[in-house]
Amino acid sequence: MTTPVITAVATRQGTRSHNADAATVYRLPGTPMVAAAIVDGIGNTADVVTFARTAAEVAARVGARRGPLLGILAAAEMATAPPGVQVEDGVAVAAVASADSSTTAIAWTGDSRIYGWTGSRLVQRSTDQTMGTWLRAWGGTAVTLHPSHGPDTTVPTEDAARVLDDLARAALARCSIATVPICYISDPMVILTSDGAHGQIPPAVLETLVRDHAHAPQTLADAIVTAAQPDTDGYRDDATAIVIALPPRT
């Protein structure tokens, strides 16, 4: 008998009125396939919450059947609109694993993340699709900022990147088959997080949590969202984590 994939989900509302994160785990009936998705809604209204929950469900259900890339693109169809029309939007990560395989397929758009636990270290397997990440790769040594109030300011690229780390380059409404990366990883444990989790937990603390709780997926997911701390202004984002533990390789 095949050992099933074990999954765990945890989420915690931040300091705003709604939890605009959504997480879905879907097991395709009659198969060993398991898909998981997080959608971090942009904004904090009741409509954004509904969008995120539905988009996460679509990404997981389609992902289980067609893979994580098509799962995210199916969810993205919910955010399409004519030019100039504003609709609800969000960023997304998706992963599809099988109890029959040691490989997990992953895809993402925006700045939610996918990590792999190798058994000895935590590795970030996705790359944030933000303007901050883009500047670090292509911005040279200095960047001139054009603030809406005040004079232009030229600052080191890293300073500008930190300002723009929260600006998604490819949210669901602006993603396409050309912008959604898909990768295949062989880590025995895969962790999906919204930016309210990994963005408000120091990397060393996150790795320590995974190391300490790798044997207990639900405990780990709960510990990740609990560890997210408010910033210096007291703001804490919604935090969500999905843990996927694959069966031991044979």
- The pLDDT value recorded for residue 31 is 93
- 134 and 233: one domain? no
Domain that holds residue 161: 130-167
> Whole-angstrom Cα distance, residue 18 to residue 85?
24
- The pLDDT value recorded for residue 6 is 96
Nearest to 38 by CA among 150, 187, 196: 196
Residue 250 in domain = no
- The pLDDT value recorded for residue 148 is 75
Residue 120 in domain = yes
- 44 and 120: one domain? yes
- 193 and 241: one domain? yes
- The pLDDT value recorded for residue 147 is 77
- The pLDDT value recorded for residue 250 is 61
- 147 and 42: one domain? no
pLDDT per residue as tens, the chain (250 positions) = 678 999 999 999 999 999 999 999 999 999 999 999 999 999 999 999 999 999 999 999 999 999 999 999 999 999 988 777 778 999 999 999 999 988 999 999 999 999 999 999 999 999 988 776 666 776 677 778 777 777 888 877 777 667 766 766 778 998 999 999 999 999 999 999 999 999 999 999 999 999 999 999 999 999 999 999 998 889 999 999 999 999 987 6
230, 204, 103, 25 alpha-carbon torsion, rounded to 10°: -20
pTM of the model: 0.90
Domain count, the chain: 2
- 120 and 137: one domain? no
- 207 and 221: one domain? yes
Q: Which residues are bridge partners to 38 per DSSP?
A: 23, 93
- 80 and 138: one domain? no
Residue 119 in domain = yes
- 16 and 118: one domain? yes
DSSP state of 109: E
- 153 and 49: one domain? no
- 64 and 140: one domain? no
> Whole-angstrom Cα distance, residue 70 to residue 176?
10
CB 244 within 8 Å of CB 7? yes
Residue 66 in domain = yes
- 32 and 139: one domain? no
